[in-house]
Amino acid sequence: MKDAFGLSAIYWIVHRELKLTMRRKSDAITPLLFFVIVTSLFPLSVGTDVEMLRRIAPGVLWVTALLATMLSLPRLFEQDYADGTLEQLALSPAPLSAMVVGKVVAYWLMTGLPLALLAPLLALQFYLPTTSILILATTLLIGTPVLALIGSIGASLTLGLRGGGVLVALLVLPLYVPVLIFGTGAVDAAASGLGATANVSLLTAMLLVAGFFSPMATTAALRIALE
Amino acid sequence: MLEVSNLDCVRGERHLFHDVSFLLRSGEGLLITGENGSGKTSLLRMLVGLTPPFAGTINWKTRLIKHLGAEYRRELLYCGHPLGLKDSLSATENLQSIASLVNEPVELSVVQDALERIGLQGSAHMPVRALSQGQKRRVSLARLFLSRRTLWVLDEPLTALDTKASQHVAQAVDRHLDDGGIAVITTHQDMALASPLQTMRIGA
C-alpha cells in the first residue's frame, strides 16, 4: 500500500510536469537549441580537418550536453517554491522523496532524453563512425540521468538564494567531472580496441548510486529551504 | 485534538513570540490575531510541521506531530500565503492535480461543484494566470469543499476576497466545526462565523 502510494505520487508528478511543459514549450526547447547551435559552432570554427573533428567530437558533445542540462537546472524547483506548490507537496501525505524522484524523472524526459536522441544526428558533423556514434548515444542515455540527479541536489541547495543560478554551476560542475570523464572515455576506449564495456558499466554504477542517494539529499535540502 | 504547549519562535535575532499554548478539541476553532510581523504565519508553519519549533511541543492526538509524519499530514489541510496554484493550468486542472498528488483523486464534476460553491463557475477553464487575485484565492480555497481533512490551518483566508466569498468561507468553516473538525485561522478581517471560536492575540 505504502509503496503503491509513492509510485502513484511519482506518476502524478511526472504527469503534471509534462503537462506544464506542454503549456510553456520554450522552457524545454531552449536547452535543445543551445545544444544544437553550440555543437554546430565547432566544425565551423575548427575547420574541416576530419581527424581533429573525430578526436574532439565526444568531448564537445558531452560538454555541451552537460551545459545544456545545467542551463535549465535553476528552474527545477524555483517556480514550485515561489508559487507555494512546493510546500503543498511537502505537506502531502506522500513521501517528499517520491515527489523529488518524479520531478527528476520529468526533468530528464524533457532535457536529458531529447539531448541523447539528438546527439547521433549532431555527431554526423564530426565524421564519427557509426559504432562511435552508437556508443556516444548510449553513454549520454546513461549519463544524462546522472547529471539530472546530481543537479537536483545543487538546485535544491541553492533554492531561494540570490544568484542561485551561478552558485548551482559552481556546486555541480565539479561533481559532473567523473561522469564526463567516463562518458567521453567510452568512445576513445572503443576506438582503441579496449571496448567501451568498462566505461558503460562505471556510468551505470554511478547512475545507481546517484539514483539511491540523490533523492534523499535533495529532499533534506528542500525541507531546509521550506523552513 | 491539537495540543500546543510553550511554543517559542525565534527568527534570526528576533524573538517573535514566547510561551504560546492552547488546546483544541474536536469541533473547536482558534482565531489568531496580531500585528503584521508578529509571527502569525510562523506559528501556522510550525503547526503544520514545515518549521520545527524553537522550543515547545505540538501534539496531535497526544503524539508529537514530528513523530506522526504522514499520518498527521493525511488529516491536515493548509492554505498558506502563496496559493500553491500553477499559473498555466486552469482552476479545475490545478485542483485535480493537487487532489491526485495527495492520493485523493476527484472527478471533474466534484471539482466543478466546489468551484461553483465558491462562486467561480464561469472561469473554471481559464488558466489561473488570467484570473484576478481574489479569484485565485477562491480557487485555492475551493479545496475546503473537496477535502475531508480534520484539521484546517488557514493563513489569512479572506485576503482579497469580496464580502460574498468571505461569507462562503465562513460558512465552510462553520460546517467543518459542526462536523467535528478543528480549525486554526489567522485574519485581520471580521469573520462572520456562527460558531464561537477561541481567540488569541500574539506578539507584544
**Cross-chain Cβ contact A84/B89 below 8 Å:** no
Q: How far is A6 from chain B (nearest CA, A)?
A: 9
CB B98 within 8 A of CB B84: yes
**Cross-chain Cβ contact A99/B101 below 8 Å:** yes
The ipTM estimated for the assembled molecules is: 0.89
- Summarize the confidence of residues A21-40 as an average pLDDT: 92
Residue of chain B whose alpha carbon sits nearest to that of A1: B103
Residue of chain A whose alpha carbon sits nearest to that of B82: A84
Task: Spell out the SS3 assignment of chain A.
Answer: CHHHHHHHHHHHHHHHHHHHHHHCHHHHHHHHHHHHHHHHHHHHHHCCCHHHHHHHHHHHHHHHHHHHHHHCCCHHHHHHHHCCHHHHHHCCCCCHHHHHHHHHHHHHHHHHHHHHHHHHHHHHHHCCCHHHHHHHHHHHHHHHHHHHHHHHHHHHHCCCCCCHHHHHHHHHHHHHHHHHHHHHHHHHHHHCCCCCHHHHHHHHHHHHHHHHHHHHHHHHHHHHHHC
* A210: nearest Cα among A141, A151, A138, A135: A151
Taking only residues 58 to 77 of chain B, the set having a beta carbon closer than 8 angstroms to any beta carbon of chain A reads 70-71, 73-74, 76
Residues of B in contact with A3 (CB under 8 A): none
pLDDT of residue A185: 92
**Contacts A–B by Cβ distance under 8 A:** 78
* B186: nearest Cα among B19, B37, B1, B4: B37
Q: What is the pLDDT of residues A97-155, one digit of tens each?
A: 999 999 999 999 999 999 999 999 999 999 999 999 999 999 999 999 999 999 999 99
pLDDT of residue B191: 82
Residue of chain A whose alpha carbon sits nearest to that of B75: A93
Task: Give how far Cα B149 sits from Cα of A109, A196, A220, B146, Å.
Answer: 34, 55, 26, 9
Residues of A in contact with B152 (CB under 8 A): none
CB A196 within 8 A of CB A136: no
Least confident span in A14-28, A159-173, B64-78, B175-189: A159-173
- Summarize the confidence of residues A8-14 as an average pLDDT: 89
**Cross-chain Cβ contact A8/B103 below 8 Å:** yes
Placement of cell 505504502 in the chain: A2
CA distance B31 to B22: 11
Does the structure show a pLDDT above 70 at A5? no
pLDDT of residue B11: 82
Taking only residues 47 to 106 of chain A, the set having a beta carbon closer than 8 angstroms to any beta carbon of chain B reads 82-85, 87-95, 99
**Cross-chain Cβ contact B84/A16 below 8 Å:** no
CA distance B132 to B126: 11
pLDDT band at A4 (very low <50, low <70, confident <90, very high): low
Residues of A in contact with B103 (CB under 8 A): 5, 8-9, 92-94
CB A167 within 8 A of CB A161: yes
CB B53 within 8 A of CB B16: no
pLDDT band at A1 (very low <50, low <70, confident <90, very high): very low
B123 grid coordinates: 472561469
CB B138 within 8 A of CB B170: no
Residues of B in contact with A13 (CB under 8 A): 101
pLDDT in tens, chain B (204 residues): 899 999 988 888 888 888 899 999 999 999 999 888 888 999 999 999 999 988 999 999 989 998 998 889 989 999 988 999 999 999 999 999 888 887 778 888 888 888 988 888 888 889 999 999 999 999 999 999 887 889 999 999 998 888 888 998 999 999 999 999 999 999 888 888 888 888 888 875
Q: Where are the domains of chain A?
A: 2-226
CB A142 within 8 A of CB A205: no
The shares of helix, strand and coil residues in chain B, as percent rounded to the nearest 5, are 35, 25, 40
Does the structure show a pLDDT above 70 at A3? no
Residues of B in contact with A20 (CB under 8 A): 86, 88-89
CB A159 within 8 A of CB A166: no
CB A140 within 8 A of CB A65: yes
Interface with B, mutate which of A88, A101, A219, A222 (most B CBs under 10 A): A88
